[in-house]
Amino acid sequence: MVPNDASVAAGPLAGKTVAVVHAAWHSCGSYQVNVSQLEAYRALGARTISIALMDAPAPRPPCGPRWEAYFAASAELPADKRYFCGPSRLAALSPSFLAYAWWRLIHGDQATWLVELAKLVALPPGFADENVDLVHANHYFTLPFVARLLRGRNTPVMVETQDIQARQYILRNRGGFFLPPYVTYDDMLSIELEWMRAADLCIHLNEEERAEFARLLPQARHRLVYPAIAAVPCGPGGDRIIIVASDNYGNFVSLRWFLREVAPLAPGVEVEIYGNIDSGVKRLDKSLYESHRALFKGRVDDIGAIYAQAACVLLPTIEGHGLSVKAVEAMASGAPLIATRRAFRGMAIDPERLGNVILADHAADFAAALREIGQRRDAGAREVSDTRRLYDDMFSPAAYARALHETVAPLLVR
């Protein structure tokens, strides 16, 4: 919800300008996190700037298919001012970039690749006139660009990690083609940590992540701030049994397990799969996609309506690290859930105590729960379900804004 002018003027960050620097991603959990950041800062009274950074060589915005897709999907991003920038294709063809960054990439070093891309990015037109009080950077690989953005000014910089990215790269590399000698996890982690040292504060989305980074970077300042995830409506329910997933390798592995191991044990139970995970399955396992093509519904504009009409939401998570945004969305819906314990990673909760959750870590148990849910429909009030109450306490916009203010206030008075 966008606050009204009176509430903004009275907020504790009134008169401050906060720049949120983020990858130009959409249709994924990180995009929703960026939305919640901007909404929280506005609720606290700050003027907000979004700086979207393309993570691949592309034409100047708004041209090219990558930018066109991003603009179309992010039109409602709640920022007072938006800037767009990224590495040009011409710069990415320079001999020095080819000799170093491209060479590292063909061996799987996505950490170096993204850092070197960020170094190529020029300031977006008009930004030189901005007076920024705080930079909230998302992911370590935006920090080389942030350094150029600030041009030596003593502006506090906070980096939000959103998982250990080296883990994601290793997972992604399993599904790609690279040449030996292959980059190692430690190689990419060292790049990630090197850039994080430049930030004044590192914030993390879950306790496991905070503890791990605190061990790896003991000299840095760390803070746990659970993200706000946009609420989805607690609808009346319906006949749909759904899975919602974005396109990443962990989700692909999890969905492959469900389609291969679980679904055959629950014949006759119809499941609908939403989100752009369809493109990932088609890319990584075309035969699996073709044999289940009818289940994939793709990305929809109003995913909230899908949750509201769901009889049950499935979270067949067996792979992935960091907080699962889609799991929090499912919790917010108040719908009955069938989930593995791994779906609740990083939340510091006991899912056994959630009355509208059936836990099933093995394919046979998951399928049994699926068969049972397919024969009955929940009639309980979803607004007062255990998962919805937990969402309100931990992941709602109000809870996030309070935690964010406590985090940034010391940085703004130094």
**pLDDT at residue 1, as a whole number:** 45
Q: Name, in order, each residue with C-beta under 8 angstroms of 186's C-beta and a sequence gap of 6 or more.
A: none
Note the pLDDT of residue 156. 98
Rounded Cα gap, residues 70 and 164, in angstroms: 24
| DSSP letters for 242-260 | EEE--S-HHHHHHHHHIII
**Side chain identity at residue 344, one-letter code:** F
Q: Are 347 and 394 in contact (CB under 8 A)?
A: yes
| Alpha-carbon gap, residue 345 to 322, rounded angstroms | 7
Are 302 and 275 a contacting pair, CB within 8 Å?
no
Q: In terms of Cα–Cα distance, which of 99, 90, 165, 140 is closest to 120?
A: 90
Beta strands in 225-340 (DSSP E): 240-244, 272-274, 296-298, 310-315, 337-339
Per-residue pLDDT of the chain (414 residues; tens, 9 = 90+): 445 554 455 799 999 999 999 999 998 878 988 999 999 999 999 999 999 999 999 999 999 999 999 999 999 999 999 999 999 999 999 999 999 999 999 999 999 999 999 999 999 999 999 999 999 999 999 999 999 999 889 999 999 998 899 998 998 898 788 999 999 999 999 999 999 999 999 999 998 899 999 999 999 999 999 988 888 999 999 999 999 999 988 999 999 999 999 999 999 999 999 999 999 999 999 999 999 999 999 999 999 999 999 999 999 999 987 788 899 999 999 999 999 999 999 888 999 999 999 999 999 999 999 999 866 655 579 999 999 999 999 999 999 999 999 999 999 986
**Closest by CA position to 313, among listed 280, 353, 354:** 354
Helical spans, DSSP H, in 175-296: 185-196, 207-216, 249-257, 277-284, 286-291
Domains defined along the chain, listed by start:
5-228+397-413 (3.40.50.2000), 240-394 (3.40.50.2000)
Neighbour order of strands in the sheet with 310-315: 296-298, 272-274, 240-244, 310-315, 337-339, 357-359
Least Cα distance to 296 among 238, 335, 220, 243 occurs for 243
Sheet with strand 157-160: strands edge to edge? 81-85, 47-53, 17-23, 134-138, 157-160, 201-204, 222-224
Strands (E) across 76-168 are located at: 81-85, 134-138, 157-160
Residue position matching structure tokens 């990180």: 30
36, 227 contact by CB (below 8 A): yes
Contact yes or no for 319/171 (Cβ under 8 A): yes
